[in-house]
Structure 1
Amino acid sequence: MLEARLQHASTLKKLLDAVKELVTDANFECNETGIALQAMDTSHISLVTLLLRSSGFEHYRCDRNSSLGISLASLGKILKCASNEDVLTLRAGENADVLTLVFEAPDSERCSEFEMKLMDIDSEHLGIPDSNYDVVVKMSSVEFQRICRDMSTLSESITIECAKDSVRFMTEGDIGSGYITLKPGMSIDDSEDTSTTIELQQACSLTFSLKYLSNFTKATPLSKTVTLSMSNEYPLLVEYKVNEIGFIRYYLAPKMNEAE
């Protein structure tokens, strides 16, 4: 038996918006510690992982480990029936073939219940080792989203160059080039919570697909900040913390130089 209650349905709505462009169907792995998702995008170029800790739910019960195969498109259709402020409860019995979603208005005068058919999805869980990154940049998620949007007008690729005193975003296309430099302490809203910080082990410069980075920024409503972890040895890690409940992480390999 799984029963998980979120105080606001908007949390799950935002999480779904953050992954639905990359993943169509996925297994939600449920156990006593929480609910997790891991899936490659349809092109097998990026990887997304999601964790919702049991402690972040208003109520959480999971009697035994279970895997719920879910169509994200179907889930999205049902979630449109919920108001952002509704209390959301997820329920699934043992060996269930449906997931029950209950939406309760805060004033308790309205309660909606939907059942969604579950799927059998073959998926291979990838072990993700702890990595020592060359550089870790924490910055405003809104600023990162804007950079990706602005740079997309010039090119399909973006180079992120990190030094001790700055992080530079560069792109070059047929109509011209663009450069945006952020220095530690900079913030778009004068808030210390969103100021740029750089933890550098060694300088790093890598190029990535703007199409994928722009998709990752759909997680912006979930967090005021985003963390970019880069290394010459590992894929880029883009992480958004989800309040106190968990996180969503995206992994993307850099583009290789044509000369390589």
Structure 2
Amino acid sequence: MPVNANIGFEAKMDHASLLKKIIEAIKDLLGECTWDCTNTGMSLQSMDSSHVALVNVMLKCEGFERYKCDRNLNMGINLSSMAKVLRCAGPDDSVAIKTDGDSSSASFIFESPDGDRSAEFELKLMNIDVEHLGIPDTAYDCIIKMPSQEFRRVCADLSQFGDSVTISCAKADVRFEAQGDIGTGHIRLGAKSGTVEKPEDEISIELENPVTLTFALKYLNNFAKATPLSPTVRLCMSNNHPLCIEYPMVEVGHIRYYLAPKIEEETE
């Protein structure tokens, strides 16, 4: 039987750098997780170790140069180890991932654009108890679309003042506030849609009801590591519901982070 006959899964991306950025955006939150591979794409869904944040990644099969999945399979992977393997890729290398679903490893093959250099690394797979948590469809009270660089800056700046940020959304603007021992920080971003040259620089607010919620900045700064993946980010909020932060990757898929709001005067 030919060697490749047992390859149940094979996915090739033109740019290993994209996959590297995806893993860098989630590895510190998740540690270990399971990639679910089906004929529609690769996905993962996992809680962070403290069970406060939920991460959902979808990489559609259309986003790969080549994609083949003969049967559904799971790849349990330590994301820090996967990041180490991906750091071996050259800046312009392609990456192919192969596994048969029954072996204890997956192959990562990097190839230079001219084909003169290729490198193959075997990464050990893990058996991980998969806990699939359903994400309910939520009709959000407020959806903010803004430049991802701006969101990262807001989170970084307000982290100088406190551990938490209160986000207040109205029709005309969104306000971020943090307070701590050294003082208070306020940042206001006015909605600007259709008045900027680049669509990715727009700040748009879809408002059904005003929303004011408080979140841990530690997690928001972690989510902002996905900034290199998308020029825009969507903040979806509803009172008494987890915040959904989505980084859309055009033609590839998305990363979504979910974070429960902090309850003021919380008692044990």
Could you say which TM-score interval applies, normalised by the shorter chain? over 0.9
Match for residue 10 of structure 1?
Answer: 17
Are the aligned partners of 2:242 and 2:259 in contact in 1 as well (CA < 8 Å)? Answer: yes
5+ residue gaps, structure 1: none
**SS at the partner of 1:107?**
coil
Match of 1:200 in 2: 207
User: Could you say what the CA RMSD is over the residues aligned between the two structures, in angstroms?
Assistant: 1.3
Give 1:190 deviation, angstroms. Answer: 5.0
CA distance in 2, matches of 1:73, 1:169: 32
Question: Does the alignment pair 1:57 with 2:77?
Answer: no
* Aligned-partner SS, 1:22: helix
Cα separation, 2, equivalents of 1:135 and 1:255? 18
The 3 A distance-change label for structure 1 pair 207 and 106 is same
Are 1:67 and 2:74 matched, yes or no?
A: yes
CA contact (8 A) 2:74 2:101 kept: no
Q: Which runs of 5+ in 2 are unaligned?
A: 1-7
For the residues of structure 2 that align with 1:148 and 1:133, how far apart are their CA atoms?
Answer: 22
| Residues 1:238 and 2:238 are matched in the alignment | no
Q: Distance in 2 between matches of 1:259 and 1:60?
A: 48
Pick one of 89, 92, 96 that aligns with 1:89. 96
Residue 97 (structure 1) shift: 1.1
Aligned positions of 1:108-123 closer than 5 A: 108-123=115-130
Q: TM-score, normalised by structure 1?
A: 0.97
Matched, 1:100 2:84: no
Take 1:132 and 1:25, find their aligned partners in 2: how far apart are those partners? 31
In the alignment, is residue 209 of structure 1 matched against residue 216 of structure 2? yes
Partner Cα distance (2:85, 2:70) in 1: 25
Deviation of 1:194 (Å)? 2.2
How far is 1:95 from its partner? 1.1
- Tell me the distance in 1 between the aligned counterparts of 2:173 and 2:251: 29
| C-alpha deviation, 1:226, in angstroms | 0.3
State the alpha-carbon separation in 2 of the partners of residues 259 and 55 from structure 1.
45
Question: Which residue pairs with 2:4 in the alignment?
Answer: none
Between stretches 79-88 and 3-12, larger displacement belongs to 79-88
> What is the SS of the residue equivalent to 2:29?
coil
Is the Cα–Cα contact under 8 Å of residues 156 and 221 in structure 2 kept in the other structure? yes
Secondary structure of the 1:20 match is: helix
> Counterparts in 2 of 1:19-38, with a 5 A limit?
19-38=26-45
Is 2:240–2:261's contact at 8 Å kept on the other side of the alignment? Answer: no
TM-score normalised over the length of structure 2: 0.94
Q: Is the 8 A contact 1:138 1:227 kept in 2?
A: yes
What secondary structure sits across from 2:30 in the alignment?
coil
Kept in 2: contact 1:222–1:243 (CA 8 A): no
> C-alpha separation between the residues in 2 aligned to 1:73 and 1:155?
29
For residues 62 and 84 of structure 1, the distance between their equivalents in structure 2, rounded to whole angstroms, comes to: 27
Matching residue's letter, 1:153: Q
**How far apart, in 1, do the equivalents of 2:82 and 2:186 lie?**
39
